[in-house]
Structure 1
Amino acid sequence: MAVMEHHLHEASGARRHLPMEYRDVHQSLRILGFWLFLATDMLLFACLFATYLVLRTHTDGGPTPRELFDVPGFTAETFILLTSSFTGGLATLAMRNGKKGQLIGWLAVTMLLGLSFVALEAQEFVKDALEGATMQRSAFLSSFFTLVGTHGSHVSVGIVWMFLTLLQVLRRGITPITARKVFIVNLYWHFLDVVWVFIFTIVYLSGVVM
Protein backbone atom coordinates (compact mmCIF):
# COMPACT_ATOMS: atom_id res chain seq x y z
CA MET A 1 0.00 0.00 0.00
CA ALA A 2 2.83 2.35 0.90
CA VAL A 3 4.55 1.53 -2.40
CA MET A 4 1.38 2.37 -4.34
CA GLU A 5 1.00 5.69 -2.52
CA HIS A 6 4.65 6.44 -3.24
CA HIS A 7 4.13 5.84 -6.97
CA LEU A 8 0.97 7.98 -6.99
CA HIS A 9 2.84 10.77 -5.25
CA GLU A 10 5.65 10.56 -7.80
CA ALA A 11 3.15 10.61 -10.69
CA SER A 12 1.41 13.62 -9.17
CA GLY A 13 4.72 15.41 -8.81
CA ALA A 14 5.68 14.65 -12.39
CA ARG A 15 2.41 16.12 -13.68
CA ARG A 16 3.12 19.46 -12.02
CA HIS A 17 5.36 20.32 -14.95
CA LEU A 18 2.48 19.84 -17.41
CA PRO A 19 0.06 22.60 -18.49
CA MET A 20 -2.69 23.17 -15.91
CA GLU A 21 -5.37 21.38 -17.94
CA TYR A 22 -3.27 18.19 -17.97
CA ARG A 23 -2.14 18.10 -14.34
CA ASP A 24 -5.23 16.27 -13.12
CA VAL A 25 -5.67 12.75 -14.49
CA HIS A 26 -9.44 13.13 -14.80
CA GLN A 27 -9.11 16.34 -16.81
CA SER A 28 -6.56 14.65 -19.09
CA LEU A 29 -8.99 11.80 -19.75
CA ARG A 30 -11.74 14.28 -20.63
CA ILE A 31 -9.40 15.96 -23.11
CA LEU A 32 -8.61 12.56 -24.64
CA GLY A 33 -12.34 11.91 -24.94
CA PHE A 34 -12.76 15.18 -26.79
CA TRP A 35 -10.01 14.21 -29.24
CA LEU A 36 -12.05 11.08 -29.98
CA PHE A 37 -15.14 13.25 -30.55
CA LEU A 38 -13.18 15.38 -33.03
CA ALA A 39 -12.19 12.22 -34.88
CA THR A 40 -15.86 11.33 -35.38
CA ASP A 41 -16.64 14.90 -36.44
CA MET A 42 -13.80 14.67 -38.95
CA LEU A 43 -15.49 11.62 -40.47
CA LEU A 44 -18.72 13.61 -40.81
CA PHE A 45 -16.98 16.39 -42.72
CA ALA A 46 -15.05 13.88 -44.82
CA CYS A 47 -18.37 12.40 -45.99
CA LEU A 48 -19.73 15.87 -46.78
CA PHE A 49 -16.60 16.79 -48.74
CA ALA A 50 -16.80 13.53 -50.70
CA THR A 51 -20.46 14.18 -51.51
CA TYR A 52 -19.68 17.70 -52.68
CA LEU A 53 -16.83 16.55 -54.94
CA VAL A 54 -19.17 14.07 -56.62
CA LEU A 55 -22.06 16.52 -57.07
CA ARG A 56 -20.34 19.86 -57.72
CA THR A 57 -20.70 19.51 -61.52
CA HIS A 58 -24.40 18.56 -61.30
CA THR A 59 -25.79 22.06 -61.73
CA ASP A 60 -28.87 21.05 -63.76
CA GLY A 61 -28.73 24.30 -65.74
CA GLY A 62 -28.54 26.38 -62.56
CA PRO A 63 -25.71 28.62 -61.38
CA THR A 64 -22.22 27.13 -61.46
CA PRO A 65 -19.66 27.63 -58.69
CA ARG A 66 -17.88 30.30 -60.73
CA GLU A 67 -21.13 32.23 -61.20
CA LEU A 68 -22.22 31.84 -57.59
CA PHE A 69 -19.14 32.41 -55.45
CA ASP A 70 -18.18 35.94 -54.44
CA VAL A 71 -14.37 36.17 -54.15
CA PRO A 72 -14.23 39.21 -51.80
CA GLY A 73 -16.90 37.62 -49.62
CA PHE A 74 -15.31 34.23 -49.00
CA THR A 75 -11.87 35.85 -48.76
CA ALA A 76 -13.13 38.10 -45.95
CA GLU A 77 -14.71 35.10 -44.20
CA THR A 78 -11.41 33.24 -44.40
CA PHE A 79 -9.39 36.15 -43.04
CA ILE A 80 -11.79 36.64 -40.13
CA LEU A 81 -11.91 32.98 -39.14
CA LEU A 82 -8.14 32.47 -39.35
CA THR A 83 -7.64 35.61 -37.27
CA SER A 84 -10.04 34.20 -34.68
CA SER A 85 -7.91 31.06 -34.50
CA PHE A 86 -4.91 33.23 -33.64
CA THR A 87 -6.80 35.12 -30.92
CA GLY A 88 -8.08 31.80 -29.57
CA GLY A 89 -4.47 30.65 -29.29
CA LEU A 90 -3.63 33.85 -27.41
CA ALA A 91 -6.49 33.06 -25.01
CA THR A 92 -4.99 29.64 -24.30
CA LEU A 93 -1.56 31.21 -23.77
CA ALA A 94 -3.01 33.76 -21.33
CA MET A 95 -4.78 30.96 -19.48
CA ARG A 96 -1.54 29.00 -19.08
CA ASN A 97 0.22 32.13 -17.83
CA GLY A 98 -2.53 32.66 -15.25
CA LYS A 99 -3.62 36.01 -16.73
CA LYS A 100 -7.37 36.00 -16.22
CA GLY A 101 -8.02 39.46 -17.68
CA GLN A 102 -6.16 38.70 -20.89
CA LEU A 103 -7.88 35.33 -21.15
CA ILE A 104 -11.33 36.92 -20.92
CA GLY A 105 -10.36 39.64 -23.39
CA TRP A 106 -9.03 37.26 -26.03
CA LEU A 107 -12.04 34.96 -25.66
CA ALA A 108 -14.32 37.96 -26.19
CA VAL A 109 -12.38 39.01 -29.31
CA THR A 110 -12.54 35.46 -30.65
CA MET A 111 -16.30 35.36 -30.16
CA LEU A 112 -16.77 38.71 -31.91
CA LEU A 113 -14.75 37.48 -34.89
CA GLY A 114 -16.82 34.29 -34.93
CA LEU A 115 -20.03 36.32 -34.94
CA SER A 116 -18.69 38.40 -37.84
CA PHE A 117 -17.95 35.22 -39.77
CA VAL A 118 -21.44 33.80 -39.17
CA ALA A 119 -23.02 37.13 -40.18
CA LEU A 120 -21.09 37.21 -43.47
CA GLU A 121 -21.98 33.60 -44.20
CA ALA A 122 -25.67 34.23 -43.47
CA GLN A 123 -25.57 37.26 -45.75
CA GLU A 124 -24.02 35.11 -48.48
CA PHE A 125 -26.73 32.46 -48.14
CA VAL A 126 -29.55 35.03 -48.20
CA LYS A 127 -28.07 36.70 -51.29
CA ASP A 128 -27.82 33.33 -53.06
CA ALA A 129 -31.40 32.41 -52.13
CA LEU A 130 -32.76 35.73 -53.40
CA GLU A 131 -31.06 35.03 -56.73
CA GLY A 132 -32.78 31.63 -56.93
CA ALA A 133 -29.79 29.57 -55.81
CA THR A 134 -31.50 27.39 -53.20
CA MET A 135 -30.86 23.84 -52.05
CA GLN A 136 -33.70 22.55 -54.23
CA ARG A 137 -32.28 24.06 -57.41
CA SER A 138 -29.57 21.46 -58.10
CA ALA A 139 -27.48 18.69 -56.58
CA PHE A 140 -24.48 21.03 -56.54
CA LEU A 141 -26.35 23.59 -54.45
CA SER A 142 -27.70 20.91 -52.11
CA SER A 143 -24.20 19.60 -51.40
CA PHE A 144 -22.75 23.12 -51.14
CA PHE A 145 -25.29 24.42 -48.63
CA THR A 146 -25.13 21.20 -46.61
CA LEU A 147 -21.33 21.26 -46.32
CA VAL A 148 -20.89 24.98 -45.67
CA GLY A 149 -24.03 25.18 -43.54
CA THR A 150 -22.88 22.30 -41.34
CA HIS A 151 -19.60 24.10 -40.75
CA GLY A 152 -21.47 27.34 -40.01
CA SER A 153 -23.70 25.60 -37.48
CA HIS A 154 -20.58 24.20 -35.79
CA VAL A 155 -19.14 27.72 -35.58
CA SER A 156 -22.40 28.97 -34.03
CA VAL A 157 -22.27 26.22 -31.41
CA GLY A 158 -18.63 27.11 -30.74
CA ILE A 159 -19.54 30.76 -30.09
CA VAL A 160 -22.21 29.81 -27.54
CA TRP A 161 -19.85 27.28 -25.95
CA MET A 162 -17.07 29.87 -25.71
CA PHE A 163 -19.44 32.38 -24.13
CA LEU A 164 -20.48 29.87 -21.46
CA THR A 165 -16.82 29.03 -20.80
CA LEU A 166 -16.04 32.74 -20.45
CA LEU A 167 -18.79 33.08 -17.84
CA GLN A 168 -17.29 30.21 -15.84
CA VAL A 169 -13.85 31.83 -15.94
CA LEU A 170 -15.39 35.10 -14.71
CA ARG A 171 -17.05 33.34 -11.78
CA ARG A 172 -14.42 30.77 -10.80
CA GLY A 173 -11.15 32.11 -12.18
CA ILE A 174 -8.50 29.89 -13.74
CA THR A 175 -8.71 26.43 -12.17
CA PRO A 176 -7.81 22.98 -13.55
CA ILE A 177 -11.47 22.54 -14.55
CA THR A 178 -11.90 25.93 -16.27
CA ALA A 179 -8.44 25.52 -17.85
CA ARG A 180 -9.56 22.24 -19.37
CA LYS A 181 -12.74 23.85 -20.69
CA VAL A 182 -10.83 26.78 -22.22
CA PHE A 183 -8.38 24.38 -23.85
CA ILE A 184 -11.11 22.14 -25.26
CA VAL A 185 -13.26 24.95 -26.68
CA ASN A 186 -10.19 26.43 -28.37
CA LEU A 187 -9.22 23.00 -29.67
CA TYR A 188 -12.71 22.75 -31.17
CA TRP A 189 -12.31 26.22 -32.66
CA HIS A 190 -8.96 25.36 -34.27
CA PHE A 191 -10.54 22.22 -35.72
CA LEU A 192 -13.25 24.33 -37.37
CA ASP A 193 -10.57 26.62 -38.80
CA VAL A 194 -8.80 23.63 -40.35
CA VAL A 195 -12.09 22.44 -41.86
CA TRP A 196 -12.65 25.94 -43.28
CA VAL A 197 -9.23 25.89 -44.94
CA PHE A 198 -10.38 22.78 -46.82
CA ILE A 199 -13.70 24.45 -47.68
CA PHE A 200 -11.86 27.54 -48.89
CA THR A 201 -9.56 25.42 -51.07
CA ILE A 202 -11.80 22.61 -52.31
CA VAL A 203 -15.08 24.50 -52.60
CA TYR A 204 -14.40 28.17 -53.18
CA LEU A 205 -10.98 28.40 -54.83
CA SER A 206 -11.45 25.39 -57.08
CA GLY A 207 -14.97 26.64 -57.86
CA VAL A 208 -13.83 29.99 -59.22
CA VAL A 209 -10.82 28.51 -61.05
CA MET A 210 -12.44 25.51 -62.74
Structure 2
Amino acid sequence: MSAIPTVPELQDQPWHLPSRGRIGMLSLIIGESAIFTIFVVAYVFYIGKSLSGPTPGQVLEVPIFNTICLLSSSITIWLAERRIERNEIKAFGLWWGVTIALGVVFLVGTGLEWYKLIYHDGLTISTNLFGTTFYSLVGLHATHVVIGLAMLLLVLVFTLMGRVTEHHAERIQVLALYWHFVDAVWVVVFTVVYIVGR
Protein backbone atom coordinates (compact mmCIF):
# COMPACT_ATOMS: atom_id res chain seq x y z
CA MET A 1 0.00 0.00 0.00
CA SER A 2 1.50 3.33 -1.06
CA ALA A 3 1.87 5.99 1.57
CA ILE A 4 0.07 9.29 1.21
CA PRO A 5 2.62 12.06 0.62
CA THR A 6 3.18 14.34 3.58
CA VAL A 7 3.16 18.12 3.38
CA PRO A 8 6.99 18.44 3.30
CA GLU A 9 7.16 15.91 0.43
CA LEU A 10 4.60 17.90 -1.55
CA GLN A 11 6.52 21.11 -0.88
CA ASP A 12 9.67 19.56 -2.37
CA GLN A 13 7.98 19.05 -5.73
CA PRO A 14 8.58 21.98 -8.06
CA TRP A 15 5.56 23.97 -9.14
CA HIS A 16 5.39 24.92 -12.80
CA LEU A 17 3.52 27.86 -14.22
CA PRO A 18 0.88 26.93 -16.78
CA SER A 19 1.90 27.39 -20.39
CA ARG A 20 1.61 31.02 -21.48
CA GLY A 21 0.40 29.83 -24.87
CA ARG A 22 -2.42 27.77 -23.36
CA ILE A 23 -3.44 30.56 -20.98
CA GLY A 24 -3.41 33.04 -23.86
CA MET A 25 -5.45 30.76 -26.11
CA LEU A 26 -7.94 29.96 -23.35
CA SER A 27 -8.33 33.70 -22.68
CA LEU A 28 -8.96 34.28 -26.39
CA ILE A 29 -11.50 31.44 -26.47
CA ILE A 30 -13.36 32.85 -23.45
CA GLY A 31 -13.53 36.29 -25.10
CA GLU A 32 -14.64 34.84 -28.43
CA SER A 33 -17.24 32.69 -26.65
CA ALA A 34 -18.77 35.87 -25.23
CA ILE A 35 -19.00 37.37 -28.71
CA PHE A 36 -20.59 34.22 -30.14
CA THR A 37 -23.04 34.13 -27.23
CA ILE A 38 -24.23 37.64 -28.11
CA PHE A 39 -24.76 36.66 -31.76
CA VAL A 40 -26.55 33.41 -30.83
CA VAL A 41 -28.85 35.20 -28.38
CA ALA A 42 -29.68 37.81 -31.05
CA TYR A 43 -30.46 35.06 -33.56
CA VAL A 44 -32.70 33.22 -31.09
CA PHE A 45 -34.42 36.46 -30.03
CA TYR A 46 -35.32 37.37 -33.62
CA ILE A 47 -36.49 33.91 -34.74
CA GLY A 48 -39.89 34.30 -36.40
CA LYS A 49 -39.94 38.10 -36.11
CA SER A 50 -39.24 38.90 -39.76
CA LEU A 51 -42.11 40.81 -41.37
CA SER A 52 -41.31 39.49 -44.85
CA GLY A 53 -39.90 36.33 -46.38
CA PRO A 54 -38.07 34.24 -47.08
CA THR A 55 -38.16 32.36 -43.80
CA PRO A 56 -35.61 29.81 -42.57
CA GLY A 57 -38.00 26.93 -43.26
CA GLN A 58 -38.39 28.06 -46.87
CA VAL A 59 -34.73 28.39 -47.80
CA LEU A 60 -32.41 26.61 -45.37
CA GLU A 61 -31.21 23.09 -46.02
CA VAL A 62 -29.47 21.22 -43.20
CA PRO A 63 -25.74 21.12 -44.09
CA ILE A 64 -25.12 17.57 -42.90
CA PHE A 65 -22.11 16.88 -45.16
CA ASN A 66 -20.40 20.16 -44.23
CA THR A 67 -21.01 19.48 -40.55
CA ILE A 68 -19.55 15.97 -40.78
CA CYS A 69 -16.46 17.41 -42.51
CA LEU A 70 -15.89 20.12 -39.92
CA LEU A 71 -16.47 17.90 -36.90
CA SER A 72 -14.25 15.19 -38.42
CA SER A 73 -11.47 17.77 -38.59
CA SER A 74 -11.34 17.77 -34.79
CA ILE A 75 -10.44 14.08 -34.97
CA THR A 76 -7.79 14.59 -37.64
CA ILE A 77 -6.15 17.48 -35.82
CA TRP A 78 -6.10 15.38 -32.64
CA LEU A 79 -4.39 12.59 -34.61
CA ALA A 80 -1.87 15.16 -35.86
CA GLU A 81 -1.20 16.27 -32.28
CA ARG A 82 -0.46 12.69 -31.24
CA ARG A 83 1.94 12.22 -34.18
CA ILE A 84 4.03 15.29 -33.46
CA GLU A 85 4.40 14.24 -29.82
CA ARG A 86 6.05 11.04 -31.14
CA ASN A 87 8.16 13.01 -33.64
CA GLU A 88 6.36 11.31 -36.56
CA ILE A 89 6.57 14.43 -38.72
CA LYS A 90 5.37 12.88 -42.00
CA ALA A 91 2.29 11.43 -40.32
CA PHE A 92 1.76 14.76 -38.55
CA GLY A 93 1.90 16.61 -41.87
CA LEU A 94 -0.54 14.16 -43.42
CA TRP A 95 -3.17 14.51 -40.68
CA TRP A 96 -2.60 18.27 -40.53
CA GLY A 97 -3.19 18.46 -44.30
CA VAL A 98 -6.37 16.37 -44.01
CA THR A 99 -7.60 18.79 -41.32
CA ILE A 100 -7.01 21.72 -43.68
CA ALA A 101 -8.79 19.91 -46.52
CA LEU A 102 -11.84 19.23 -44.34
CA GLY A 103 -11.92 22.88 -43.26
CA VAL A 104 -11.72 24.01 -46.90
CA VAL A 105 -14.58 21.66 -47.87
CA PHE A 106 -16.65 23.18 -45.07
CA LEU A 107 -15.92 26.72 -46.29
CA VAL A 108 -16.72 25.85 -49.90
CA GLY A 109 -20.01 24.34 -48.72
CA THR A 110 -20.80 27.53 -46.80
CA GLY A 111 -19.98 29.60 -49.89
CA LEU A 112 -22.25 27.47 -52.08
CA GLU A 113 -25.03 27.77 -49.51
CA TRP A 114 -24.68 31.55 -49.47
CA TYR A 115 -24.62 31.70 -53.27
CA LYS A 116 -27.92 29.77 -53.41
CA LEU A 117 -29.49 31.91 -50.67
CA ILE A 118 -28.46 35.20 -52.29
CA TYR A 119 -28.94 34.51 -56.02
CA HIS A 120 -31.67 31.87 -55.99
CA ASP A 121 -33.69 32.65 -52.87
CA GLY A 122 -33.08 36.41 -52.71
CA LEU A 123 -31.95 36.35 -49.07
CA THR A 124 -29.34 39.02 -48.33
CA ILE A 125 -28.20 40.58 -45.08
CA SER A 126 -30.69 43.43 -45.64
CA THR A 127 -33.70 41.36 -46.77
CA ASN A 128 -35.19 40.83 -43.31
CA LEU A 129 -34.25 40.12 -39.69
CA PHE A 130 -33.59 36.48 -40.53
CA GLY A 131 -31.11 37.47 -43.24
CA THR A 132 -29.36 39.93 -40.95
CA THR A 133 -28.96 37.55 -38.04
CA PHE A 134 -28.21 34.51 -40.24
CA TYR A 135 -25.36 36.09 -42.18
CA SER A 136 -24.00 37.76 -39.04
CA LEU A 137 -23.86 34.54 -37.01
CA VAL A 138 -22.82 32.11 -39.74
CA GLY A 139 -20.46 34.71 -41.20
CA LEU A 140 -18.80 35.23 -37.81
CA HIS A 141 -18.19 31.50 -37.59
CA ALA A 142 -16.93 31.31 -41.19
CA THR A 143 -14.49 34.14 -40.44
CA HIS A 144 -13.09 32.13 -37.54
CA VAL A 145 -12.72 29.11 -39.83
CA VAL A 146 -10.78 31.25 -42.34
CA ILE A 147 -8.48 32.54 -39.59
CA GLY A 148 -7.96 29.01 -38.30
CA LEU A 149 -7.21 27.69 -41.79
CA ALA A 150 -4.66 30.46 -42.36
CA MET A 151 -2.81 29.45 -39.18
CA LEU A 152 -3.03 25.74 -40.02
CA LEU A 153 -1.73 26.40 -43.53
CA LEU A 154 1.22 28.35 -42.16
CA VAL A 155 2.14 25.38 -39.95
CA LEU A 156 1.82 23.03 -42.93
CA VAL A 157 4.19 25.22 -44.97
CA PHE A 158 6.75 25.16 -42.13
CA THR A 159 6.28 21.38 -41.86
CA LEU A 160 6.96 20.90 -45.56
CA MET A 161 10.06 23.06 -45.20
CA GLY A 162 11.31 20.77 -42.43
CA ARG A 163 11.04 23.42 -39.72
CA VAL A 164 8.56 21.58 -37.46
CA THR A 165 9.77 19.03 -34.89
CA GLU A 166 8.50 17.38 -31.73
CA HIS A 167 9.78 20.44 -29.83
CA HIS A 168 6.88 22.37 -31.36
CA ALA A 169 4.25 19.97 -29.97
CA GLU A 170 3.13 22.41 -27.26
CA ARG A 171 2.57 25.20 -29.80
CA ILE A 172 0.73 22.82 -32.12
CA GLN A 173 -1.56 21.80 -29.26
CA VAL A 174 -2.29 25.44 -28.44
CA LEU A 175 -3.27 26.09 -32.06
CA ALA A 176 -5.36 22.91 -32.06
CA LEU A 177 -7.32 24.31 -29.10
CA TYR A 178 -8.49 27.15 -31.35
CA TRP A 179 -9.60 24.67 -34.01
CA HIS A 180 -11.49 22.57 -31.47
CA PHE A 181 -13.18 25.79 -30.31
CA VAL A 182 -14.26 26.59 -33.88
CA ASP A 183 -15.73 23.09 -34.20
CA ALA A 184 -17.53 23.33 -30.85
CA VAL A 185 -19.03 26.69 -31.81
CA TRP A 186 -20.33 25.12 -35.03
CA VAL A 187 -22.29 22.58 -32.98
CA VAL A 188 -24.08 25.48 -31.27
CA VAL A 189 -24.58 27.44 -34.51
CA PHE A 190 -25.81 24.33 -36.35
CA THR A 191 -28.29 23.52 -33.57
CA VAL A 192 -29.63 27.05 -33.26
CA VAL A 193 -29.80 27.93 -36.98
CA TYR A 194 -30.63 24.66 -38.70
CA ILE A 195 -32.53 22.71 -36.03
CA VAL A 196 -34.22 25.13 -33.59
CA GLY A 197 -34.52 28.08 -35.98
CA ARG A 198 -36.21 26.23 -38.84
Q: Would the TM-score normalized by the shorter structure come out above 0.5? A: yes
Q: Does 1:97 align with 2:81?
A: no
* Larger deviation, residues 164-173 vs 53-62: 164-173
**Separation in 1, partners of 2:23, 2:36:** 20
Q: When the two structures are aligned, how many residues end up with a matched partner?
A: 185
SS at match of 2:197: helix
After superposition, the CA RMSD in angstroms is 1.9
What is the TM-score normalised by the length of structure 1?
Answer: 0.82
**Separation in 1, partners of 2:154, 2:19:** 21
2:43 alignment partner, one of 30, 48, 52: 52
Extract unaligned runs of 5+ from structure 1: 1-9, 16-24
Q: Is the 8 A contact 2:50 2:129 kept in 1?
A: yes
Letter matched to residue 158 of structure 2: Q
Extract unaligned runs of 5+ from structure 2: 1-12
1:1-210 to 2 correspondence within 5 Å?
A: 11=14, 28-71=19-62, 74-130=63-119, 131-170=121-160, 171-176=162-167, 178-208=168-198
Which one has a larger percent helix, Structure 1 or Structure 2?
1
Letter matched to residue 178 of structure 2: Y
Q: Is the 8 A contact 1:85 1:190 kept in 2?
A: yes
Alpha-carbon deviation of 1:175?
A: 4.3
SS at match of 1:56: coil
**Separation in 2, partners of 1:141, 1:112:** 29
Alpha-carbon deviation of 1:165?
A: 1.4
Q: Is the 8 A contact 1:95 1:179 kept in 2?
A: yes
Alpha-carbon deviation of 1:123?
A: 0.5
Q: Is the 8 A contact 1:58 1:138 kept in 2?
A: no
Alpha-carbon deviation of 1:181?
A: 2.6
**Separation in 2, partners of 1:173, 1:161:** 14
**Separation in 1, partners of 2:68, 2:93:** 22
Alpha-carbon deviation of 1:202?
A: 1.2
Task: Using the aligned pairs only, state the percent identity.
Answer: 30
Letter matched to residue 119 of structure 1: V
**Separation in 1, partners of 2:142, 2:47:** 19
**Separation in 2, partners of 1:175, 1:67:** 50
**Separation in 2, partners of 1:124, 1:184:** 31
Post-superposition Cα deviations, 1:130-153, rounded to whole Å, max 9, x if no partner, equal 121011011121011100011001
- Structure 1 runs of 4+ aligned residues shifted over 3 Å read none
